[in-house]
């Protein structure tokens, strides 16, 4: 089944999609490992890298939405209506989490009293003052949202693979260069 | 038990302070309004802490500033970064090692007038068993009948062995730290 131009995402959309995929996959182990380490230089390094990746996800997510508003997504594949609804739900939830995770992480950092300095160069303003009770709530929220993101990413990838390899409808070509 | 021991340790300081306070020109320092803050950077992220417990004696002579004297003794175990895991590490062996040498001390040896309310003290700063000569610029201002002495001391933490072992990596934890001391006395003179 040959894909035509309007059947696939634009090169910019494809690049942004895979960039954010790589960032999310990097962010998980960084967050997971740094949270479990005792206080050490390595922990401080990983926490900083995790925050840098998170800020980058936030920026790239904005770029994706802007690009999406000027360059339309390709025609939907032929599929049952419930699958379209499920796909829409997952896609927009993924977008929501691409913002919710960096935002909760940022406020969590502020509440812990450890500001975020993007790439070690630009310090973000603190949203709230140092507040241990709030920090503990935000940490739980950030972790819960992280698990939700992982679950959705897996569902998203599983559905894409199912389309491509089981239904053989060429879905992955839409998200390739 | 521990609390009692801590109090016992304070007795010599209280005595020393009382002794100093009785000498000429000594002004009692209002510790409630005074502070000792530390600013440092990890991964270029600024963070700060403060010493919750310290004593200071000040004998300031306006007519003869160079004859003035100051001593500050800081309880290292009172260092507070606002987060228990940070505090444990900072008070522990690799950093301040408060269990081995509980107090840091600073004693002036000479004071120089720089003009327009600015001065420079030289003295000995002892932390963690290392004593070094330091130069501390400071200023004095009046505020509602109080007198405020403010000093900033840039300090290279590794000069005093603060942050040993894995923490000696200055790319993660900067060597440069800033100590800001604010001493408030009630009586202007």
**Is residue B2's pLDDT more than 70?**
no
Question: Is the minimum CB–CB distance between A128 and chain B shorter than 8 Å?
Answer: no
Question: Is the minimum CB–CB distance between A123 and chain B shorter than 8 Å?
Answer: yes
Judged by CB atoms closer than 8 Å, whether chains meet at A40 and B166 is answered as yes
Judged by CB atoms closer than 8 Å, whether chains meet at B169 and A120 is answered as no
Nearest CA in chain A to B43: A120
Give the tens place of pLDDT for each residue, A70-119: 988 888 888 889 999 999 999 999 999 999 999 999 999 999 989 999 99
* Residues B44-61, mean pLDDT to the nearest whole number: 94
Judged by CB atoms closer than 8 Å, whether chains meet at A114 and B45 is answered as yes
pLDDT at B23: 47
- Among chain B, residues having any CB pair with chain A shorter than 8 Å are 42-47, 81-83, 85-86, 88-89, 166-167, 169, 172-173
pLDDT at B10: 63
The reported pTM is 0.85
* Residues B89-106, mean pLDDT to the nearest whole number: 96
* Residues B137-152, mean pLDDT to the nearest whole number: 94
Give the tens place of pLDDT for each residue, B26-51: 789 999 999 999 999 999 999 999 99
Lowest mean pLDDT among A18-22, A87-91, B61-65, B105-109: B61-65
CATH 3.40.640.10 is held by the domain B25-186: no
Judged by CB atoms closer than 8 Å, whether chains meet at B167 and A41 is answered as yes
Cβ contacts from A onto B, under 8 A = 44
- Residue A119 zone, left/alpha/beta (φ > 0; ψ -120 to 50; rest): left
Q: Does residue A24 contact residue A156 with C-beta atoms inside 8 Å?
A: no
Looking at beta carbons, which residues of chain A come within 8 Å of B85? Answer: 39
Judged by CB atoms closer than 8 Å, whether chains meet at A117 and B86 is answered as no
Nearest CA in chain B to A43: B172
Give the tens place of pLDDT for each residue, B12-22: 665 555 555 44
Judged by CB atoms closer than 8 Å, whether chains meet at A114 and B85 is answered as no
CB burial of residue A32 (10 Å; 0-12, 13-18, 19+): middle
Question: Is the minimum CB–CB distance between A48 and chain B shorter than 8 Å?
Answer: yes
pLDDT at A2: 47
ipTM of this complex? 0.84
Distance CA A156, CA A150 (A): 10
Closest partner residue to A44 (CB to CB) among B43, B46, B83 is: B43
**Is residue B1's pLDDT more than 70?**
no
Distance CA B68, CA B189 (A): 13
pLDDT < 50: residue spans in chain A: 1-5
pLDDT at B136: 96
pLDDT at A78: 83
Looking at beta carbons, which residues of chain A come within 8 Å of B157? Answer: none
Q: What proportion of chain B, given as a percentage, has pLDDT over 70?
A: 85
* Residues B104-121, mean pLDDT to the nearest whole number: 95
Selected residue of B43, B82, B165 to mutate for chain A interface (largest A Cβ count, 10 A): B43
**Is residue B8's pLDDT more than 90?**
no
Q: Where are the domains of chain B?
A: 25-186
């Amino acid at each position: 089944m040959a894909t035509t131009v309007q059947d696939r995402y634009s090169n910019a959309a494809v690049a942004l999609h895979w960039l954010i995929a790589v960032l999310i996959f990097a962010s998980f182990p960084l967050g997971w490992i740094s949270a479990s380490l005792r206080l050490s230089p390595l922990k401080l390094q990983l926490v900083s890298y995790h925050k840098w990746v998170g800020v980058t996800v936030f920026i790239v997510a904005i770029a994706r939405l802007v690009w999406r508003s000027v360059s339309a997504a390709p025609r939907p594949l032929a599929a049952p209506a419930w699958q379209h609804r499920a796909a829409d739900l997952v896609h927009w939830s993924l977008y929501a989490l691409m913002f919710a995770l960096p935002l909760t992480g940022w406020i969590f950092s502020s509440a812990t009293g450890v500001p975020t300095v993007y790439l070690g160069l630009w310090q973000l303003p603190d949203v709230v003052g140092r507040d241990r009770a709030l920090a503990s709530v935000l940490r739980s929220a950030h972790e819960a949202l992280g698990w939700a993101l992982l679950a959705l990413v897996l569902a998203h990838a599983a559905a894409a693979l199912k389309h491509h390899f089981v239904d053989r409808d060429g879905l992955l070509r839409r998200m390739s260069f | 038990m521990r609390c009692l021991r801590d109090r016992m340790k304070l007795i010599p300081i209280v005595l020393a302070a009382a002794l100093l306070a009785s000498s000429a020109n000594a002004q009692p320092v209002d510790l409630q309004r005074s502070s000792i803050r530390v600013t440092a950077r990890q991964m270029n992220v600024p963070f700060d802490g403060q010493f919750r417990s310290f004593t200071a004696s000040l004998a300031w002579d306006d007519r003869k500033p160079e004859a003035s004297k100051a001593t500050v003794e800081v309880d290292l175990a009172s260092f507070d970064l606002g987060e228990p895991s940070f505090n444990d590490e900072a008070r522990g062996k690799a950093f301040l090692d408060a269990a081995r040498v509980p107090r840091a001390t600073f004693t002036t040896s000479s004071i120089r007038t720089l003009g327009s309310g600015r001065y420079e003290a030289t003295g000995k700063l002892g932390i963690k068993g290392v004593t070094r000569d330091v130069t501390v610029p400071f200023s004095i201002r009046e505020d509602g009948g109080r007198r405020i002495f403010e000093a900033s001391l840039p300090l290279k933490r590794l000069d005093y062995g603060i942050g040993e072992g894995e923490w000696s990596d200055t790319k993660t934890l900067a060597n440069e730290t800033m100590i800001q001391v604010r001493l408030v006395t009630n009586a202007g003179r």
